[in-house]
Amino acid sequence: MPWTNTSPRSGTLARASHHRKDVAIARSTTIRTAALAALLSTVPAFAADQPAAAGNAAAVFVARDFVGDGVFGSGIEGPATGPGGILYAVSFGRDGTIGRVEPQADGSGRALLFVELPLGSTGNGLRFGADGTLYVADYTGHNVLAIDMGTRQVRVFAHLDGAHQPNDIALAPDGTLYASDPDWKTGSGQLWRIGRDGAVRRLETGMGTTNGIEVSPDGKRLYVNESVQRTVWVYDIGADGGVSGKRLLLEFPDHGLDGMRSDADGNLYIARYGAGVVAVVSPEGKVLREVALRGQKPTNVAFGGADGRDVYVTLQDRGAIETFRSERPGREYGH
């Protein structure tokens, strides 16, 4: 049987964490019109009444609702598409849970409770391993959890001693996990590596508020963004899973950064928290486009759909999930 979580403490901690993120990003945001104009490419107009038209080329990069307002809580995060193309996200109704979203014939998603996490655990980032195991960044327990999709049993895969959270996780092609680890109170952060055997290594400390994290399709690059500092960094991944050659990929002039994913070409899809868009960024650091959303606080993105070109976006301010079609499939998309 799955674990249950009845403690109000995890919800209180989650709300406090979301509040600290809002405050930290709000304090750092300064509009720089000239820089912003140079940064942005053309943004397609949002069609509020756009019909659900999965597979329709005309609907590429036009967002619509997949799961409506309030189905998930304000802690909604970590979307990941698993076996069979089913989407999963944390905070189904409340913190400490994971919801399962099944695609419907009309293009919408039907959300159901999948599992309740152990007492004291609160999920954030999610990733699926090659064997179908669901990995969960447990930011209140300072663990990476592993869930057996058949039995729904939850176990601790790795404990991050000395971590602030972790927040988000990325899975390399060889099965190595990387975790971001922000401290919203101090505006700092860390970076971790978790091996296939669960062995943990802290790769870097003294960073900004590390948040979104992703690996390139060839497994040779690691991308990490810092929310408050609005920077995206890139590292080279070594044969031992360590990182080197840290360099700045991109810096945004305003708003915050949250979760991000890569398409098959290596372009990053970055949730721009507070800006109400997903930025599509090339491996060279050029903003290719921004996709307008209904909500203003996207927290993370995931690819899915039969062809891997459906992009799902979790929205904190709506407790909802939006979706749009991309031109290219995701690096990971559950099929």
Phi, psi of 66 (to 5 degrees): -110, -45
Q: What is the pLDDT of residue 85?
A: 92
* Residue range 149-154: mean pLDDT, rounded: 98
Chain CA centroid to CA 302, Å: 7
DSSP 328: S
**Which of the two residues, 49 and 116, has the higher pLDDT score?**
116
54 with 107: CB under 8 angstroms?
yes
DSSP 261: E
Q: What is the pLDDT of residue 114?
A: 98
Per-residue pLDDT at 33 exceeds 80: no
Instruction: Render pLDDT for 229-271 as a digit per residue (tens, 0 to 9).
Output: 999 999 999 999 999 999 999 999 999 999 999 999 999 999 9
253 with 32: CB under 8 angstroms?
yes
* The two structure tokens encoding residue 229: 């500092």
Q: What is the pLDDT of residue 221?
A: 98
* DSSP string over 45-93: PP-TT----TT-GGGBT--EEEE-TTSS-TT-EEEEE-GGG-EEEE-SS
Map residue 26 onto helix, strand or coil.
helix
Instruction: Render pLDDT for 34-58 as a digit per residue (tens, 0 to 9).
Output: 343 343 333 333 333 333 344 444 4
If pLDDT is split at 50, 70 and 90, which confidence band does 334 have? confident
Mean pLDDT of the chain: 88
Q: What is the pLDDT of residue 51?
A: 38
The two counts, helices (H) then strands (E), for the chain are 2, 24
Phi, psi of 20 (to 5 degrees): -65, -35
Q: How far is 11 from 204, CA to CA, in rounded Å?
A: 29
If pLDDT is split at 50, 70 and 90, which confidence band does 24 have? low
Contacts of 80 (CB under 8 A, 6+ apart): 87, 88, 89, 126, 127, 128, 134, 302, 332, 334
